Structure 1
């Protein structure tokens, strides 16, 4: 079986993990935490990094730190992972959705301004798969209407937009370090900001809102969102190789494209846009409407050939959990609905070998004959 993802863990991961074990620093108090935060923030061009237990709670903390709450609205893409909308809903705010683009699958920024009301507090940007959102347009809208920007950079570690690091935009940004990301800590995430007050609020929220002078007296309710020293050690070793990992991913994407560009019936990811070169977090494809089966059917056929795949995100406005809450009734976003049903991604992990890509592409050709 060629798995959909397999990380590369052949750098300093064992060395740093052994240091944690040898010194006994395995909790969230260990020295690798601060080093990982500082070096990740420097890589992204942010003043502050706050390591947390995963990328989803990074979004939760970001929403809370910005003071978004009951009755507020946040504009976001419908085509994304559920964590983004869940963080908004959990504080009593309302996600307001826009469709995605048909070419890069990022949020359609042309739809944002029409969704702004007097309750809108922020725009949540989510960079999808390999190319970034049109940040210049988002920033212009946010400045015009006095809105905050929350930047979910979970899928694009090391990506640049017009020469500036992804994750460096807006008031606050978030990262995920799940095993399929360019940098992994197994589970883990980070919040980034240039605002010292926001950084301090996020640090407090991740640590049960302890206060130094009277540790077990609480004036606010926080969470245990802490990252362990073990996770940070892993992340630091991964961060050391980020540029190498990006080169591997781009070589992978170019090989896939060269082998699949003449195959009829599929839309391939864009190699670049005006501001960025694709970083290929995953190599995603969308079946043409002329193909007689959908993504689920294609994935079953590829599984029979021992090829691992994963479906595209399912749109927020079609999620049963939100329908039960009375959200998004009668809303439709046709581009997102189509790509969710006809899109999936191929094996894209950093440990994927070039000859594995040959096998995968042969299998794709075979099922589309």
Structure 2
């Protein structure tokens, strides 16, 4: 049997090993010069005034919530279509997560959906660029007019495109994940980036450690040097999928994306999840609102019919062809 093509895979080359090896043989593997350099380089890449590193993206979010003085019984708005760890960070503060719906037949939400849940107890709003899909400037401008702290979840989205920076600058803070299968890997790690002086001062007051080591930072520095190439490869693979999958991929083609994931709509997700060739996934493991006995029809509908196709820089052309053939076969069986 052919080896299963994984859904996610860290893109590592000899250069990554060399960066880590040099740090290893320096004898200094705790947080030192490499951590400082990675902070500086990443900060310059995304063009933010301030940065702090943490052990994970979830920890980074938790620290933002603490710095915003989110406390017991405060309410935080977040999408139901997101990683469960986001809700855990909110609950850890003693706050109450309030889940909002997506737009109909869309993987992302909107001002219209989010504003429905706004009330006087909402102390922060979390917005995520799920799968790398961009929110447009107008939507975020309308959200910022609510005068509630906006938190940008960038676990699926790292960009220094000027229009993306304009959008990001409307947020109070952004948090990033450098987990092994994310866009840019340090093994484990995360970051908070902001232009807000007061928030940064609060982050510094609460900081307990350096977040990552020089070994993590060395891998991060190597990955950051390659990152623009990673984005180009993701875009090339996406275009190859669009060209060969036709109407199967038409729903994603309407969005602007950096293609962290490549979702499609299918009639029977079980056929894909049971594939012996490709490790297809749902995109998110489960919806968060179902445990809170809420009803969000748009996101429930989209969750049922979404399958995520492997898309990462190290995919070979042969693997891409196998993925396309398997998708077509399973679609035809539906």
TM above 0.5:
yes
Q: 1:68 to 1:278 in 2, by over 3 A?
A: same
Q: Note if contact 2:48-2:193 (Cα within 8 Å) is conserved in structure 1.
A: yes
Q: 1:160 to 1:134 in 2, by over 3 A?
A: same
Length-normalised TM-score, structure 2: 0.91
* In 1: Cα distance, 2:204 partner to 2:163 partner: 30
Aligned match for 1:279, one of 244, 258, 266: 258
Length-normalised TM-score, structure 1: 0.83
Q: Note if contact 2:159-2:165 (Cα within 8 Å) is conserved in structure 1.
A: no
Task: Name 1:13's counterpart in structure 2.
Answer: 16
* In 2: Cα distance, 1:161 partner to 1:71 partner: 38
Tell me the CA shift for residue 228 of structure 1: 1.2
Q: 1:98 to 1:128 in 2, by over 3 A?
A: same
Q: Deviations over 1:208-227 (max 9, x none)?
A: xxxxxxxxxxxxxxxx5711
* In 1: Cα distance, 2:164 partner to 2:63 partner: 28
Q: 1:151 to 1:52 in 2, by over 3 A?
A: same
Task: Name 1:148's counterpart in structure 2.
Answer: 149
* In 2: Cα distance, 1:36 partner to 1:351 partner: 23
Task: Name 1:341's counterpart in structure 2.
Answer: 304
- Whether 2:175 is the aligned partner of 1:174: answer yes
For 2:301, what is the secondary structure of its paired residue?
Answer: helix
Task: Name 2:330's counterpart in structure 1.
Answer: 367
* In 1: Cα distance, 2:121 partner to 2:175 partner: 23
Tell me the CA shift for residue 168 of structure 1: 4.0
Tell me the CA shift for residue 46 of structure 1: 0.4
**Higher helix fraction: Structure 1 or Structure 2?**
2
Q: Deviations over 1:154-178 (max 9, x none)?
A: 1011264735366544111100112
* In 2: Cα distance, 1:136 partner to 1:66 partner: 25
In structure 2, list runs of 5 or more residues that go unmatched: none
* In 2: Cα distance, 1:137 partner to 1:347 partner: 29
Q: Cα RMSD over matched residues?
A: 2.1
Alignment of 1:272-311 (within 5 A): 272-273=254-255, 277-287=256-266, 291=267, 293=268, 295-300=269-274, 302=275, 304=276, 306-311=277-282
